[in-house]
Amino acid sequence: MADAPQSQTYYNSCYRHGVDEKRRVQIPAKWRPETDGTELTVILWPKHQAGVCLRVLPPSEMAKMKASIDQLPNSDANKGVLKRFIGSKSVQVTLDKAGRICLPEEMASAAGIKDEALLVGVLDRFEIWNPSRYEKVEASDAVLATKAFEIME
Domain ranges of the chain: 32-148
pTM equals 0.91
- The C-alpha angle with vertex 62 and arms to 83 and 92, in degrees rounded to 5, equals 85
With a cut of 50, say whether residue 1 has pLDDT above it. Answer: no
Sequence-separated (6 or more) residues with CB below 8 Å from residue 11: 31, 121, 122, 123, 124, 125, 126
Fold adopted by 32-148: Chemotaxis protein chec (3.40.1550)
63-100 pLDDT per residue, tens: 999 999 999 999 999 999 999 999 999 999 999 999 99
pLDDT interval class at 51 (50, 70, 90): confident
